Amino acid sequence: MSEKYTEKKVANKNHTVQNHRNDNKKKGDIACKVARKCGGCQYQGVSYKKQLSEKQKAVRQLMQPFCKTAEITGMKDPYHYRNKVHAVFVRKKDGTIISGVYEEGTHRVVPVEACQIEDEKADAIINDIRGLLKSFKIKTYNEDTGYGLLRHVLIRRGFTTGEIMVVLVLGSPVMPSKNNFVRALRKLHPEITTVVLNVNDKRTSMVLGDRETTIYGKGYIEDVLCGLTFRISSRSFYQINPVQTEKLYEKAMELAGLTGRERVIDAYCGIGTIGMVAAKSAKEVIGVELNPDAVRDAVKNAKRNQMKNIRFYQDDAGRFMEKMAAKGEKADVVFMDPPRSGSTEQFMKSAVTLAPQKIVYISCDPQTQARDLKYLTKRGYKAMGAYPYDMFPFTKHAENIVLLVKQK
């Protein structure tokens, strides 16, 4: 999956759209005013049908040495799918406050009013926060001097529940008139359910700092995925495209073929989404995740959904499986969903040692997945099929599931 827990201040999104429903643009047409500066959407001006065709071709070429590739599953409506939106705030030399993203490869901010792939409600909230800064005399953070208060705003929305979290990332822990600011913001957007102050006072490329204070609401939101309710905090990894995620997970469960008798490992489990979906059909699920915030959310999510056949451990997934194998323990199915960089040789070695009958490999970068398949298919596993999903329309990225079965 594409984003894990701490987000870098990199502008990989896109912006103001004109006539974005026109799916028949000529090659070279740009639907977004700042597409060339942003660089987040590599398929600007390309019809959605053509995008899917290009992604299908790329995945098929990568998977060709291992297995057949099914037809890519696209979106019915490929716009405004991102449930998490980030904006950086700066003041121009003339005093004008702008919000947006960094120009690709630089720290120059590209102003953004709206984006064709971002949640429209999130964009509206960010625009209104920008408008409130002047009346509340809140200064934006200056990266060069280290002075100023507001650095970033992060919005997360539960598409099913409608709950909205606003995270104000500050350069110092004190925000004057914070309660009045929240009241003014909620007057404009009463649908906001929680507001969090995050303090990042370091000269760093990371968006979020380590300290947080909830100044309105419960400090997290909830959303429903595959019939389960998940708690999402500011740092939680949660798939940015929930519409496609449900389709992706349904296919993953179909490939796993769970009957209620299996012991399952959910490696790189995050807040427990895949593992909890699997727990509905498995005898036992073990979720392993290195990030402590995610593990805490996962435990709460299991309790929230009254699931008693799933346990979570804060550990490196590879080391955890090595220890299981050393004790003579077994697992029937392993779900692995590593970051874009792919898995590690240590993890795959431990997976081979543990020897599950099936490995369901979910990847947000088929290129690194192909590298990992080369390792696994030389060590007793056969790839049975690849199933690509377009999780990120207008970008070059695609998600891909591969089922690997242990050969006798």
Of 11, 23, 83, nearest in space to 47 by CA: 23
User: What interhelical angle do 178-188 and 120-135 show, nearest 10?
Assistant: 140
- CA angle at 267 for the pair 235 and 71, rounded to the nearest 5°: 95
Contacts of 89 (CB under 8 A, 6+ apart): 97, 98, 99, 130, 133, 140, 141, 150, 151, 152, 153
Q: Which amino acid is at 147?
A: Y
**Catalytic-role residue among 41, 115, 269, 364:** 364
Beta strands in 109-191 (DSSP E): 109-111, 150-157, 164-170
Cα torsion 19, 21, 24, 28: sign: positive
Phi, psi of 289 (to 5 degrees): -150, 135
Q: Are 282 and 276 in contact (CB under 8 A)?
A: no
Neighbours of 195 (CB within 10 A): 22
Q: Are 152 and 170 in contact (CB under 8 A)?
A: no
32 belongs to the catalytic site: no
Tokens of 331: 């697992």
Q: Are 198 and 209 in contact (CB under 8 A)?
A: yes
Cα torsion 238, 2, 249, 263: sign: negative
Residues annotated as catalytic (active site), given as ranges: 364
